[in-house]
Structure 1
Amino acid sequence: MTAVTAPAPPPHAASPLRWVLSDSWTVARRDLIHWTRNPTVIVAGLAFPIMFVLLYGYVFGSAMIVPGGGGYREFLMPGMFAQTMMFGAAATISAVAADKARGVTDRFRSMPMAQPAVVMGRSAADMVNSVLDLAVLVACGLLVGWSSNTGPLPTLTAFGLLLLLRFAMIWVGIYLGLVVSQEAAASTWALLFPLTMISNTFVDPSLMPAWLGTVAEWNPLSATVAATRELFGNSVPELVGTSWPAQNALLLAVVWPVLIVAIFLPLAVRRYHSAAR
């Protein structure tokens, strides 16, 4: 008489959370391996913010005077940190759109894996990449004369706000990458430029025309830049405006990214699931 062996339970039966985390790490590791096998992409991604630092810090910065004194490069670097975090959305859009065009996303849907793991894995991999981008840019900033003039806790808080902005932009990138074609994804840089330029990254909004300065002050990027300048001790008192966004930059630097995540994370997950139907 042959004994009947009960079929093994599915991997998620005992611990759904562990299943999701395990599959998310597998997807994240896959994305990181693909990233390291493309050294050209790595070099280009790291060279872009460095080029911006040199271009704006030395070429344009040679004609910039910061009211109240202080070096322009010290004023500039917190803005460059935040701008790089926002520009990272373009890389996320391109990677997600490329996976969709090559059929990788459809292949993931057909596999017995936790479906949230695909978007969670992508966000985890992009966060790892962002930490490296930020570390390289900080090293570049130190070389050109920037430094944090406060203690370890405010400095770490500033870096946390920068990564929080990047985390929010990752979910914007995942959603748009699932929506647009691979060809259209290449043009997303053009959409990000107005968002990064109409801000307090390079000049204070008070020096802009009134209507443009108002738009710049309410830009989510401006909140992160102003908050990190204050936390790094790079802010210029003469340039701190009297408007509500300027006076509450630290609050907005948290509220804006949380609001963006609350909107785009569900949209990205819903888009991923609806595309499978």
Structure 2
Amino acid sequence: MKFARDTWLIFERQMLLLLRQPIWVFVGVFQPVMYLLLFAPLLKPALNAPTQAEAYRIFVPGLLVLLAIFGGLFQGFGLIAELRAGVIERSRVTPISRLALLLGRSLRDVVSLIAQAVIITLLALLFGLTVFIGDLLLAYLLLALIALMTSAVSYGIALVVKSEDALAPLMNTLAQPLLLLSGILLPLTFAPAWLQAVADWNPFAWAVDGTRALFAGDLGNDRVWQGLTIVAILTAASVAWAAREFARSVR
């Protein structure tokens, strides 16, 4: 009960800070919207898709995973600012759970991601995308796990490096190969065999395939449950590691 209350208190504070500057939600969604409006229309001929709606059914799931990855991986900059302002230091004198310090922040990031994903989905519906609500909700669950995992990793690394100058290149170095090897922009079925073999080691490639299967209404596709399982395991491991870093930093 105390842990749940601690998590809620941190989450509530972080949400209040976010709602005071809701522009950041729209700033975060600006780049994906540009991809949706300016890049997606090129995909019908490129993918030889029968309809534009089918092209969006392939592209939008990857775009949402892209949003979850990048939205989470760069959350550590805010934590470094809190470290510099002494917010984390003052947490040392409170009895609040160190895991709650992490989860409260990460759950804020999840809520922000889902809000952005809803905006992207609604815009895609205007272009003819169709998806069953149940499959969409399960896809959002997968996206939430990705956001929770990547934000936890970002917070943990931020506590280790404690510098924006070190965090920025590290996150970019980590994010770029994950992006290119996940089939976000184009399905990896178009890639040569060696590239597909390398991508099999990228958990986000499984997540993208699973999300695409859900948007296609193929709930029984093995990639859905494989992606969910892989991401859930990695999320648990990431949260456990980041929570330990909070415990080391806030004593």
TM range (shorter): 0.7 to 0.9
5 Å-filtered alignment, 1:194-213, equals 194-213=177-196
1:160-201 deviation line (CA, Å, top 9, x unaligned): 222222222232222122223233333424531321122222
What is the one-letter code of the residue matched to 2:229?
A: V
Bigger radius of gyration among the two: 1
In the aligned structure 1, how far is the partner of 2:150 from the partner of 2:141?
A: 14
Match in the other structure for 2:226? 252
Shift of residue 40 of structure 1?
4.1
| Percent of aligned positions that are identical | 26
Match in the other structure for 1:272? 246
1:84-138 deviation line (CA, Å, top 9, x unaligned): 1111223322222222232211111222323322112112211211221111111
Q: How many equivalent residue pairs?
A: 245
5 Å-filtered alignment, 1:26-175, equals 26-58=9-41, 60-61=42-43, 64-66=46-48, 69-71=50-52, 72-148=55-131, 151-175=132-156
TM-score by length of 2: 0.86
Q: Which of 236, 244, 262 is residue 236 of structure 2 equivalent to?
A: 262
Shift of residue 273 of structure 1?
1.4
Shift of residue 70 of structure 1?
4.0
> Do the aligned residues in 2 keep the contact of 1:205 with 1:214 (CA within 8 Å)?
no
Q: Identify if the C-alpha distance between structure 1 residues 26 and 142 changes in structure 2 by more than 3 Å, giving closer, same or farther.
A: same
Q: Identify if the C-alpha distance between structure 1 residues 177 and 143 changes in structure 2 by more than 3 Å, giving closer, same or farther.
A: farther
RMSD of aligned alpha carbons: 2.3
In the aligned structure 2, how far is the partner of 1:186 from the partner of 1:35?
A: 22
> Do the aligned residues in 1 keep the contact of 2:156 with 2:245 (CA within 8 Å)?
yes
Which has the larger displacement, 125-134 or 176-185? 176-185
Q: Which runs of 5+ in 2 are unaligned?
A: none
In the aligned structure 1, how far is the partner of 2:222 from the partner of 2:201?
A: 11
> Do the aligned residues in 1 keep the contact of 2:65 with 2:208 (CA within 8 Å)?
yes
1:127-161 deviation line (CA, Å, top 9, x unaligned): 2112211111111211233221xx43333222222
In the aligned structure 2, how far is the partner of 1:191 from the partner of 1:114?
A: 29
